[in-house]
A and B are shown apart, each in its own frame.
Chain A
Amino acid sequence: RKEVEQDPGPFNVPEGATVAFNCTYSNSASQSFFWYRQDCRKEPKLLMSVYSSGNEDGRFTAQLNRASQYISLLIRDSKLSDSATYLCVVRSPTGNQFYFGTGTSLTVIP
């Protein structure tokens, strides 16, 4: 079983739409969770950390459900510039390894 699983999409949504990405992880001892954004042929960049109580950064909201080992990212009022691949990332309990999902592709259409 993969450490992190994501729906690869693609998601094609109109501008202004709300879109949600989901991710599951296999190791219940994992403590740190992140969402990264990756543009085509570029390096991944940190979008936001995911905290147990859930957290919001502008149009982006991240949620963590430890019981279900499930992480989500909600993007409201999608912009053309949100088009990218979104990577769900889980840090190993030992802290020395980060596990990446395959990424979910988002295209925001005018």
Chain B
Amino acid sequence: DAGVTQSPTHLIKTRGQQVTLRCSPISGHKSVSWYQQVLGQGPQFIFQYYEKEERGRGNFPDRFSARQFPNYSSELNVNALLLGDSALYLCASSLVGGANSPLHFGNGTRLTVT
């Protein structure tokens, strides 16, 4: 079975541009979460989506938005890019309901803003 897939793998953008990152969860997983990881830090929670609804939002500005589609895939959009948005963006899927259900991560999208 395929794991979590993310695209693109790498992306270079300039300040002020907009970017869309894509994610397909593991088959059967209905929850998708997005995390940002900057060098030397652990992943920071951005959003969680379940059944196409936002179920959680981290401490990120409104420039960050996301959505989930009927097939449970998801997109993360970032507008008006800043240099500080350069990071590894991780998508994770999980089962919902199991207290000990872990996150399963994709390979990530490495975004560089110049």
Interface residues, chain A, CB within 8 Å of chain B? 4, 31-32, 34, 41-46, 49, 51, 87, 89, 91-92, 94-103
Contacts and interface: CB of A to CB of B under 8 A. Distances in A.
Interface size, B (range): 20 to 34
A43 B58 CA distance: 20
Interface in B88-106: 88, 90, 92, 96, 99-106
Interface of B: 33, 35, 40-45, 48, 50, 55-56, 58, 88, 90, 92, 96, 99-108, 110
B99 A101 contact: no
Contacts of B102: 34, 46, 49
B99 to A, nearest CB: 5
Contacts of A100: 35, 42-44
